[in-house]
Structure formats: structure tokens, C-alpha cells
Structure 1
Amino acid sequence: MSRLSHSARLALNLGVAITALSAAPAFAQEPADTAVEEAATGDIVVTARRREESLIDVPISVSALSGDALQSQGAVDITALQDKTPNLTLQIARGSNSTLIAFIRGVGQQDPLWGFEPGVGLYVDDVYVARPQGAVLDIFDVERVEVLRGPQGTLYGRNTIGGAIKYVTKRLGNDFTGKVRASYGSYDQIDLVGQVTVPLGDTLSIGGAIARYKRDGYGQNLTTGADQYDKDVIAGRISAEFAPSDGVFFRLAADKTVDKSNARHGTRLVGNGGLPAFEPTRSVYDTRAGIGDRNKVMTQGMSLTGEIDLNDTLTFKTITAYRDGHTDTLIDFDNTAGPVLDIPAWYDDRQFTQELQLLYSGERLQGVFGLYYLDGRASGAFDTVLGLANLTTLTAGSVKTKSYAAFADFNYDLTDQLKLSAGLRYTKDDKTGTVFRRNYTGIRSPEFGNANAVPGLIRTDYTNDRSFDQFTPRISLSYQPNDDLNLYASYGKGFKSGGFDMRGDAVLTPTTVNGYKPETVDAYELGMKGAFLDRTLFLNIAGYYSDYKDQQVTIQRPDVAGGIASFVDNAGKAEIYGLEIETRIVPSRNFSVNASLGYTHADYKKFLTFIGGGTTPVDVSDLRVFQNTPKWNANLSATWSDELAGGTIDITPSISMRSDYHMFEIANPLLDQDGYALVDASASWTSGDDRFKLSVNMRNLFDKQYRVGGYNFPGALFGNSIIGYYGPPRTATFTAEYRF
């Protein structure tokens, strides 16, 4: 038996503790009451199947976290979900402040370059967000966040092969309400949030929310003097809701986020490989990057949602949305003052989506039929500057996508206890890719300000189009002996669309002009959801197995002339299986416990690549590992509540743990992160009339240093560049909130 890491043993011990707690007779007490009872009823309503249902009734692995709960525990953005959800990785991308990297059950996409499709779908009020730039959503004006684990190809489409994350904002209602919130914390953190709802008569309401986030950096750029890991974000939403009758509802919403935080540079982990002597930085948050610090990400969108009850059983829903975004960013791969390996870049994207749904709710049959259309364009450009060779390679291009889909998903009660659920989606993607790569002599190309750069070899210059289509079925069988217990078995298929490699080098790999194929996952799951002991114990357990085929991976092909081409191909096949446990225990009106445990075993069965200068791909699956996929992850938190000074005080300590994980498919002891644990604590006081709230949140109490990303470019020409990026250090935040 292989030796477990320290954090793996901690996670395993926590799982044993969870099981012991679940079986403990101490919870056979009187049911919880008042506010704790409301929180413990278990009747959490989710829309995982595009219709409102109790969480217990849904035969899908779903975690639902309220915005208030996330805020109370100090969650600043949705990456905090990683600490509370089994088998989920949510990180800020390397070199970025607001680009999202997401993995669920080992499936995701680490490379945010335009043209690459994410493996985990992100939805804001049922609007699909196609690009990861600007997707690190802050926690404000949110009702709840749902995390759907496993492929959701039937109801959510082609790029939910790992799962989906749903960000659900609050409906305005028809009462005049509002709140203001101010926070001050470590590193001169200042957060200001304001929300208001104004009814205009009995049928129309307008509302808005604005947030300003400002914080100094955790470190410093020792070359330029600028802050490192700072935050400078302003975000806002405005909406109008019109409900002329009980069966008619329309919502027009718009949002915009501007992130001017400095470019996030890494910290060198090894010497400079022949450059001036390597001098370690004083902190893992410091850098010596010389490319500069300017970084700006802007995302915005509008949506119109309409719901009309046609009769007692049929509801028509329409969702129309447009989104666009632009990013200007800098990545210094060598982390030295000189342009040894620098990447200035810009990305641009826009998308229009239209979805039509017809929902049916009968006595024994419930379900939805829908049509979906997406018209999107993602484009960009970047220079690869090799300063030691006085050489720059410009890469530029775009991918246009038109996607069409029809889907249906229905649940039928075979008996009062036995339910059959089945769905099917057909998706067709039409893609047009344009890729241009050219060598220049000089530091930077004309695209990035060097008009004197001397044009050289054109390495890639093509436009091509391909179509991809796929049926993605889903079926599940549920047995519910009573309202508080659901046993289910399910099968689902997901696929991630194929495309064109924006880095493709047609000189070294001529086949890049043909693009790459989709990847697919066939997923099987057995699960249980239940409420026990007079609804003082809630327990969800799921075991899963996934057959992962045609995985899209980035591989390296050495050339006979000594060059290396990096390109995307369908090289991988793998099996993934694991276990997930989530529990909530409410033994009394003043105390509750939340815990989860995730286990993932991910193993490549085929991984084709080129080695040793060969021209024939070789299976190296025994030498490859899954990235961003710890074998174990777990969390445990407890909340104690009591009356104090005419209000209620809540105290919540928590711990989250992750075992060892790899940054890339090739294990690298310099970059890979050992298992670690993070300890947080929060305390809040709420007045008896719920108008005032004071809270303090401590995160990473023991100031644990842990890597969340890295780059690996060994070799003298690249400055022997191996750099790491780190999660936040210990912070404390004090917040005051007033509701009216």
C-alpha cells in the first residue's frame, strides 16, 4: 500500500470522524427550532435541472451555498467554494487576478487562451459565460451558488464535461429595501458594497448594486516598486423586474466589472541558468519581473429573462443575453528585470445567446424542453519575447463559434417511491479558426509597439472551419421510500467541443491546420441524499466512475532542427473514480456542524506524445499525472450561536485540507504542491431587528504558504524559468453592514 501524505491522512481521519458523527446517538434530540430550524430543514431549493426542486429530490451531486453564508465566512469571491465543496478546484489563473481556472472530479481546463473551451461551465442567472477572463466573480448581490458535479451535457451543453457552477442573483421583489456594507482589513483592504431595491407601483421594481474592492499587494515587484497580488476592482449590476400578474415575470439586467489590479507575476524557484546570480526574494509574493505591471480586465453584459405561465402545467421561458470583454495583460515568465521570456498579450471576446424553454409540471411527469443558440467570437494576440536571442514570435488569431442545440429532460413517477429521469441533448458547433504566427528580429513585434522589428519567417497563416456534433444522454433511477431519503443511480455523457490551436506552429506541426477533436466523458454515479434523526442530520453520499476519452492535452513535439512545437491534440484517455460525502448536523438550536470529504483517483490509460526527437507518438501514460486534482480534500466547520446584547452572535471556526497535487501532467517536485490545511475563523453579531451586522473574518490563520500555479521553462534560452504563484497569506477583515 502506497504511503499517504500528511494531509491525506488528515483527510482520511476527518472522513472517519464524519462517519462517526453521522452514527452518533447524541443527535437523537428534540428538533431544532427558530432560525436554526429554518437553516436545517433541508428543503433547499435548487435549479440544477432547470426547474425548482428540493435538493434531496435531485439525483445529481449538487452543493448549494447561500450568498449570506459565504459572506459571513469571509468569502470574497467564488474561489472560496474550493474550501467548501468536495472534489472542486477553483483558482485564479497564473499571472492573472480575475481569470478563473476550474476543475471538478479531475476534469477542467487550465489554459485560458482564446479558442480553448473550459471544461467546467459557468452560469450567471442561467446565462452561459463562455470565457474564463473576468469569471472570478465577487460575492455580492448573490442569493446562492450551486456546484453541479459530473458532466451536465444534457441540460447545460457542450462545455460542462466536468460540471457546472451556477451563480444565482437575488430577485428584487416588491419592497423598498437596501443595504450598505463596508469592510477594512489586512494590507489596507477596503471593500464598499451598496444595494437598493425601489418598487415603482405594484408590478415594477428597479434595483442596483455596486461594489468597490481595493487592497494593497501581499508583496512587491522589486524591479518596478509596484504592488504584487493587489486588488483594484469596481463592479456593478442594475436590473428591472416587471410582474403584471402571478403568471408573468420579466427581468432586464446589466452588469459590468473593471479590474485594474496589477499584473500578477510569480516568484522564481530556481536560479537563472547562466544569467546574473540568482537572488531569492524575501517573500513568495515578491517578484523581480521587468515586463511592467499594467493589467486591465473589463467584462460586461445584458440579459432579458421572461417567464409566462401558459396554463396550470406549462411555463414558457426565454433567456436572451449578450456579453463581451477585453483583457490587456503582461506575463513575465523569467521573473528577471530583462526581457528573457516575456509575454505581452490582449484578449477580446463577445457572445450572444438565446435559450427557449418549455417547462411542464404534471402530477407524475415533470420536465423541460429547450432550444439553444450561441454566436461567439474569441480573439487575441501575444508576443513571445526571447530577449537573449533578440527574437520575438507574434501569435494572433480568432475563433468564431456558432452553436445550436435542442434538449429535453423529464422526470416520471413510476410509483410514489420509484422515479425515472431521462434526458437527451443534440449539439452542433460550427467553428472557424484563424491563426497567424510570425518571427521578428527585435524585442516585441509591431503589434505590441516595436515598429522597428524586422519581419521574419511566417510560421502559421491559415483560416479553416470545422463542425462538431454530439448526442449527450442522461438517465437516472431514484427510489424515495419517504420524503427524507433518496437513493439513486445515474449515467450521463458530456463532451467538450473540438477546435483550433491558437499556438499551432505549421512549420513544425503542419497538421495543426486541421484542428483537434472533441473530448467526451461517460459518467456513472450511485448516490444517497437523506435527512435523519428528526431532521437534525443531513447526509449526502455519492460514488462515481468516469471514462474519459480523447482528452485534449498540450503536448511537445521536438523538431529535427532542435525546435519544439507546443500544440493541442487528442492524446489522452483516462479513468476517474471517487467518493463524495457532505453532511450537516444540527444537534441543538445553538450549534451546527458542516463537513465534506472528497476522494478522486485519476489515472491515464493512454497519453500519446513525441519523445526523443521521434516523429511517431509514443504512449507515456505511466509517466503522466492529472493536474489540479488532489486525491483527498476535506473541510470541517462548526457554528455556535447565542443571544447577546439584544441580538445574535455566531462564531464559526473551519478547516479545509487538500492532499498533494500536480500543476501539470508531468510531475515536477519544484512546482507540485504538498498537502496542506487552511484554518479560518469568523464571528458576527446581528441585531434583533436584523438591521445591523458586525463581523470579523480571519483567513489562513496559521499563514500557510501554498502554491496555486506555476510555469516551467527550463533551459538557458528561457532563463531556466521555473516560477510559482501562491494563495493568499493570513488576513483579517472587519465588516459593518446596515440593512434598511
Structure 2
Amino acid sequence: MHALRTLSMFALATALAAPAFAQDQTPRATTAETVTDGDIIVTARRRSESLIEVPVAVTAITGDTLEAQGAPDITALQRQTPNLTLQVARGSNSTLIAFIRGVGQQDPLWGFEPGVGLYIDDVYVARPQGAVLDIFDIERVEILRGPQGTLYGRNTIGGAVKYVTRRLGNELGGSVRATYGSYNQIDLVGSLNIPMGDSFAIGGAVAWLQRDGYGQNLTTGAEHYDKDVLAGRISAEFTPGDDIFVRIAADRTEDRSNPRHGSRILGNLGLPDFEPTDSVYDTRAGIGDDNKVVTQGISLTGEFGLNDVLTLKSVTAYRDGSSDTLIDFDNTPGPVLDVPAYYKDWQFTQEVQLLVEAERFQGVLGAFYLDGKASGAFDTVLGLANLTTLTSGTVKTESIAVFGDFSYSLTDQLKLSAGLRWTKDDKRGSVYRQNFTGIRSPEFGNPDAIPGLLRSDYTNSASFEKFTPRVAISYQPNSDLNLYASWGRGFKSGGFDMRGDAILTPTTVNGYQPETIDSWELGLKGAFLDRTLFLNIAGFYSDYKDQQVTVQVPDQFGGIASFVDNAGKAVIYGLEVEMRAVPTDNLQFTAMFGYTSADYKEFLTFIQGGTVPVDVADQRVFQNTPEFVANVSATWSADLAGGRLSVTPAVALRAEQAMFEIPTPLLDQPATVLVDASVNWVSGDDRFSIGVHGRNLTDERYRVGGYNFPGALFGNSVIGYYGPPRTVAVTAGVRF
């Protein structure tokens, strides 16, 4: 095994990191020929630019390349992007956990703001539910690292992930892709584009994604870690001239996969039902198998060229979502520690941009508005005490912002960029929390439950206002080299803890404050040796203040206490390297390396309802932030049977990482090495393709999340959630 890992580590990431240097329209088989014709075009600064020109650390990966890798969803980006964590949330199938450079948000409860912004075609997605996007109808994904507060707003303090779909164009065409793989995986994806004259087209795509579970619920017999997703998108585009583009688009995703209950790590008194299962993918959860997550939205985008210099752009969107889910924390047939829950949210956004594209002056001036509401409820059932705590609440958010970001060429080689954003958030939060005697509350089907202690019942409002500036200077001695330095500030809005217990933590009624980060970055982007070597390097240093940390711990009254701390001060610094070498037309090598040092300098917390904050910085670590990440790959390509064959072995390494700020040796994940490989053949006319994709070929077992509720009353509920085992899939596609 060690020899295999060492050999594989020698050879990773063309199918992984190469897309960062690829063209915008890379064919499905990523080869040395197809990626050296030019630079990928990105919209990291809200306007189209060559990746080399942008003084921001950006990894951009085309949808065709992700398909060629057999990437199941956007969490695959974690293996090929420096200092990025993208994972499916614990107890979930489609909720996203995102961290960049140590900054993110693990708690997906309604009302909490993410630290990494997610965008679908310039539409901000405020909630993480349903955000584990599958790979279909996609042109590229851009991962912007570091605070993006000037251009993208209040909750991009760690960075942003932009999901860019394909434009329709004016040619009749479409595609069909079918996949069969391990665990009876069956994926069917189709798209169709129909022009209706020279200036109007309609199109759409649909994906039906099915898979049996990696494990089984040994109590109910249901699949565990299965997949059952139906997703679709339809759009219409109107382009009466070169200066006008209008698109209306609608999408819907419905996930009926069974709930993930995790797997026990601790046993309890030798009782069979309380012991870990033989497989980490099995569970003995008895709460049930009902789960449904629906997300949908509609958007209207218009671009109007006013003259050769100015373009007006408008993005109007509405999105909503709902989740009905179950989490069995104890993983036993009985209701020792069960949580039935539901979430609902909606959002309306409007953004207006004025784009400037002059000879020496470029930029964007804009305004943004968001009106949204997130609500939900859940029971915390302690069956051994015959006690249930109902928690419910609502957060209403109204946000406005005005921003500008401009670049000016001081000389042909030297360019200065600066930006500023003003944001104001108004929030109104309501929290209700009450004890009941009985298994479940009336809200979740037990009308006979006896009301007990009212723990929280309050409504409060708060406003948060912030300026987030950015400045950068870049020097381009030629078109293939850019040296830059930048400083920027980001902020994440404050709010109210929807689990807040006014008895255990009386200060919860006041809410928590925003967090801020100041980040300095030095970078190099370039193509060398006649464009046979491509290199991106970025070093960063961040001053992180008032970080919002959610803590859930057993309390002295037999319940679970939750509170949000503004942790104080932290320093984060690191290095990121992306490299691709193309020694011949048939061979290329790619490597990625990321290093992050994250250290708390002050961590103030209120312990067990105390009113005096205590500094516990020496007892806390950053979660979901491995010190090192790396990958390496090689792609060999050759002409075969009238097409092009590509073979790519790949290896990704992640150092050990903590699941929570409080180190938990039972849960924290040791260093992980994952080995992948893909073989793709594409016909010479790019119409037909077939691929074989193996992921996690060494069949590693690695945790991506967990919960920690030890103690007899909680049934020693220390549980882990695991990444996929070894899988192999065959994909065939036709374009017409």
C-alpha cells in the first residue's frame, strides 16, 4: 500500500489542476494540445479577463474537464484547488460546507451566514441547503480565494465559488451522457438547444442521478449513503444585436436520497445496538428514512451596450428551498438522541452593474439588494430522559450595497486597481425554545407531549454596516507574466443564534457581531519556456477578527447548549502553488500545493452560562483547515481509432484536520491520500466520447464530518460521516 501511494503521488493532476490554465472552450478530453492555445477567460472581477491578468488567486476549471474526470459534484474541486475544503455537510446529502484559507462556515442551520459565497451565473445563493451542485449544463467553475468583499459582498470573507452555465448560442444541438458505475450508479444527463430564428433560442438540460447506498440501515433495511436526485434547468436567450443580451433561466433540484445518519465511533456498555457497525457506511438508526430537499429559482439577466465603452447589466433573481430531514445522532433503533427537522427559505436579489471598458481604464460600478427569510424547526429528543426540546425560529434579512472596482493602466506594464463597497444589513430574528415531556413535541407529531420549561421566546433586531475596500497593483512586463500585490477586507454579517438558550446563555438575545478579515497577498502568474510551463504562486497573510464560532456541548441540566462566540483574534498565512508542464504534445504534468498556518491569538467564550468571557485560545484550533494539501498528476495522450485517447492517474493529499475548534481525537481526521484515475477517448469530430473513471482506488476510509455528544444520557453519541469508498464508473456521451 505504501509503495502504491508513493508511486501514485509521483503522478497527479492534469485532470485536476490543469484546467486552471485551460482555454474557455476546452474539449472533453483535456490534452496538451487543447490547453496551450490560450488562457482561460474568467469573470472574477465582474468582467471578462484573461486569468493571467487578474490580480486575484483564482482556480478556474471547465465543465468538460470535470466531466472527463468523472467528478460527481462540485465537492470534487477540493482535490484540485489549494487550501479549499468543499464537503457534504454532516447528516446531509446536498448541503454544502465550504472553507477557503481557514475561513468558512460548518453550521448550516437557517439564519447563519456562510463564509464562502456561492454564485450561479452572478446570482448569489444565500443558503447552503441544496448547494452541492451536480456537474451538468456547466461551462466552468471559478474558485476565488481570499476575501471578495468589494465585488461580491458581505459573506465572501473566505472567497467565492462561481458556477457558470453555458450560453445557448444560435445553433441547433444537444448532448446525451449516460453513466453506469459502482453501487448500481445510473446517471442520465441530456441537454438541447433550439434556435428560434437568428436572435432567439431556448434550451434546457436535465439530470437524473441514482445510486444505491455505500452501506445499509441495519434497523430499517434502507439504503444508507445513497443518491436520488432529479435536476433540471431551462433558459431562453434573446440577442437582437451584438450590444444586447437577455436571458431568463429557471432551475429546480429535488433530492430524495435517504438521510445520512453517520456511524458510531464509540461503544456504550457493550450493548449490541450501541456498538460501532462493521462498516463505517452502515447505521442502526431507528428514526426513519424520510428526507427531501428542494431548491429552485428563476433569474432574468440583461446586458445592454450603451456605447463602445459602457455596458449596463442587470441581474434579477428569486430563489427558494425547503428541507425535511431526520438525523439520528445515537445511531441506535431507539430515540436516544434524535433530531427531526425542517428548514425553509426564500430570497429576492437585484443587482445593477455599469461596466466600463476604455483603453486604459476598466471597471464596474454597481448596486445590490437582497430581501430574504430563513426559518425552521427541530426537536432534540432525549429518549432516556423522556424529554424533548423544540427549537424553532425565523430570520428576516434585508441588505443593500453600493460598490465600485476600477483598474487604471499607469503605463503599458503597470496597473493600479482599487475598489470599495458599502453594505448595510438589517436583521430581525425570532427564537423559540421549550422543553416537553415525551418523545417528540406537538410540532413533530406528538400532541400528547406535556409542555415544560420555556427556555427562549424572544424577537430582536439588529443592523450591521461596513465598508470593505480593496487595492492592488500589478506589473506585466509581457502578456505571459503578471506580478501583483493586493490588500483587501471582507466581512461576514452578524445575526442571532437560532439555537440560542436564554436560560443557559442569557446574552444570546443580543445576537452576535460581524466578523472581519484583512488579507494581504503577493502573487505571480505566468507562462514560461514558450508556454510549455505555466505557474501560479500566491502568498497570503490574514488578520482575522471576531470570528463567529458555533459550539454545541452537553449542559449540566441534561440538555444540549448552543452558543455563538465572536472568538477574538487569529492570524492566518500561507502559500499556494499551481503548476502545469507540457514537455510534448502527448504528455503533461500538473502539481498543486497549498499551505495554511492558522493560529488563534485570542478566543473569548462564555462558558456554562457565565457572564465573564474567558480566553481559551491555547485550547482551540481551526476546523476544516489542513496545514498541507497537494496533488500531482500526469496525462498521456495519443491518437487512436480516429480520436484522441487520454490516460490520467492522479493523487491528492490532505494533512490531518480537526472537525471542530475544540480538538477531538476520536473525530479528527488523520492525513489522507486519495488515488484517482481516468481514461477518456473522444472522437476526432468531438461528437462521441467514452470514459472510465476510478475514484479513491485504494479504498480509503476518511471522515468528512462528525458530532460529539459523549455521556450516558446521550448514549455516547460520537458519530462520524465518511467520504465515498472506491468507485468505478463508465460514461458514454454523444453530441449532436
Shift, 1:458, TM fit: 1.1
**Residues 117-166 of structure 1, C-alpha deviations (whole Å, 9 max, x = no match):** 00000000000000000000000000000000000000000000000000
Tell me, yes or no, if structure 1 residue 199 matches structure 2 residue 195.
yes
Separation in 1, partners of 2:448, 2:136:
47
What is the aligned partner in structure 1 of residue 108 from structure 2?
Answer: 112
Shift, 1:280, TM fit: 2.8
Conserved 8 A contact 1:205-1:241 = yes
Shift, 1:61, TM fit: 0.2
Residue 594 of structure 1 aligns with an amino acid whose one-letter code is T
Q: 1:629 aligns with which of 605, 625, 629?
A: 625
**Residues 441-494 of structure 1, C-alpha deviations (whole Å, 9 max, x = no match):** 100001100111111111111111110010000000101111111000000000
What is the aligned partner in structure 1 of residue 452 from structure 2?
Answer: 456
Residue 492 of structure 1 aligns with an amino acid whose one-letter code is G
Choose 267-276 or 328-337, whichever is displaced more: 267-276
Conserved 8 A contact 1:318-1:354 = yes
**Residues 329-361 of structure 1, C-alpha deviations (whole Å, 9 max, x = no match):** 000111111000000000000000000000001
What is the aligned partner in structure 2 of residue 90 from structure 1?
Answer: 86
Two-structure CA RMSD over aligned residues (Å): 2.1
Tell me, yes or no, if structure 1 residue 300 matches structure 2 residue 296.
yes
What is the aligned partner in structure 2 of residue 723 from structure 1?
Answer: 719
Q: 1:135 aligns with which of 131, 143, 147?
A: 131
What is the aligned partner in structure 1 of residue 285 from structure 2?
Answer: 289
The within-5 A match list for 1:72-221 is 72-221=68-217
Conserved 8 A contact 1:273-1:720 = no
Conserved 8 A contact 1:525-1:545 = yes
Conserved 8 A contact 1:174-1:199 = yes
What is the aligned partner in structure 2 of residue 63 from structure 1?
Answer: 59
Q: 2:442 aligns with which of 442, 446, 450?
A: 446
The within-5 A match list for 1:23-42 is 36-42=32-38
SS at match of 1:171: coil
SS at match of 1:718: coil
The within-5 A match list for 1:509-588 is 509-555=505-551, 565-588=561-584
Separation in 2, partners of 1:184, 1:122:
30
What is the aligned partner in structure 2 of residue 682 from structure 1?
Answer: 678
Shift, 1:690, TM fit: 1.3
What is the aligned partner in structure 2 of residue 651 from structure 1?
Answer: 647
Conserved 8 A contact 2:186-2:210 = yes
**Residues 79-119 of structure 1, C-alpha deviations (whole Å, 9 max, x = no match):** 00000101000000001000000000000000000010000
What is the aligned partner in structure 2 of residue 254 from structure 1?
Answer: 250
Residue 83 of structure 1 aligns with an amino acid whose one-letter code is R
Separation in 2, partners of 1:277, 1:307:
60
SS at match of 1:159: coil
Shift, 1:584, TM fit: 1.2
Shift, 1:668, TM fit: 1.2
Residue 405 of structure 1 aligns with an amino acid whose one-letter code is A
Conserved 8 A contact 2:274-2:715 = no
What is the aligned partner in structure 2 of residue 30 from structure 1?
Answer: none
Separation in 2, partners of 1:323, 1:609:
36
**Residues 687-719 of structure 1, C-alpha deviations (whole Å, 9 max, x = no match):** 122111111101111101111011000111111
What is the aligned partner in structure 2 of residue 25 from structure 1?
Answer: none
Shift, 1:35, TM fit: 6.8
Structure 1 gaps, min length 5:
1-5, 23-33
SS at match of 2:75: helix
Separation in 2, partners of 1:693, 1:625:
46
Separation in 2, partners of 1:286, 1:64:
36
The within-5 A match list for 1:593-608 is 593-608=589-604
What is the aligned partner in structure 2 of residue 310 from structure 1?
Answer: 306
Residue 355 of structure 2 aligns with an amino acid whose one-letter code is L
Query: After TM superposition, where is structure 1 displaced by more than 3 Å over at least 4 residues in a row?
Result: 13-18, 34-38, 273-279, 555-564, 610-615
Q: Structure 1 residues 47, 612: CA separation in 2 closer, same or farther (over 3 Å shift)?
A: closer
Separation in 2, partners of 1:566, 1:398:
17
Tell me, yes or no, if structure 1 residue 437 matches structure 2 residue 433.
yes
Separation in 2, partners of 1:321, 1:472:
24
Residue 232 of structure 1 aligns with an amino acid whose one-letter code is D
Structure 2 gaps, min length 5:
19-29
Shift, 1:564, TM fit: 5.8
Shift, 1:557, TM fit: 8.2
Q: Structure 1 residues 690, 118: CA separation in 2 closer, same or farther (over 3 Å shift)?
A: same
Residue 453 of structure 1 aligns with an amino acid whose one-letter code is A
The within-5 A match list for 1:317-466 is 317-466=313-462
Choose 561-570 or 325-334, whichever is displaced more: 561-570
Shift, 1:508, TM fit: 1.8
Residue 476 of structure 1 aligns with an amino acid whose one-letter code is A
Residue 517 of structure 1 aligns with an amino acid whose one-letter code is Q
Residue 54 of structure 1 aligns with an amino acid whose one-letter code is S
SS at match of 1:574: strand
**Residues 664-701 of structure 1, C-alpha deviations (whole Å, 9 max, x = no match):** 01111110111011110011111122111111101111
**Residues 582-631 of structure 1, C-alpha deviations (whole Å, 9 max, x = no match):** 01111111111221100000001111224588553211111111100000
Shift, 1:413, TM fit: 0.3
Separation in 1, partners of 2:205, 2:13:
42
Q: 1:481 aligns with which of 477, 481, 499?
A: 477
SS at match of 2:567: strand
Residue 493 of structure 1 aligns with an amino acid whose one-letter code is R
Separation in 1, partners of 2:522, 2:672:
29
Separation in 2, partners of 1:518, 1:268:
35
Separation in 2, partners of 1:278, 1:338:
10
Residue 692 of structure 2 aligns with an amino acid whose one-letter code is V
Separation in 1, partners of 2:564, 2:142:
31
Separation in 2, partners of 1:559, 1:226:
34
Separation in 1, partners of 2:725, 2:636:
26
Separation in 2, partners of 1:563, 1:196:
54
What is the aligned partner in structure 2 of residue 26 from structure 1?
Answer: none
Shift, 1:39, TM fit: 1.1
Separation in 1, partners of 2:241, 2:6:
55
Conserved 8 A contact 1:557-1:613 = no
Conserved 8 A contact 1:558-1:611 = no
Separation in 1, partners of 2:83, 2:512:
28
Choose 663-672 or 57-66, whichever is displaced more: 663-672
What is the aligned partner in structure 1 of residue 22 from structure 2?
Answer: none
Q: Structure 1 residues 311, 609: CA separation in 2 closer, same or farther (over 3 Å shift)?
A: same
Conserved 8 A contact 1:702-1:730 = yes
TM-score by length of 1: 0.95
Q: Structure 1 residues 474, 15: CA separation in 2 closer, same or farther (over 3 Å shift)?
A: farther
Residue 416 of structure 2 aligns with an amino acid whose one-letter code is L
What is the aligned partner in structure 1 of residue 709 from structure 2?
Answer: 713
SS at match of 2:261: coil
| Overall identity of the aligned pairs, in % | 73
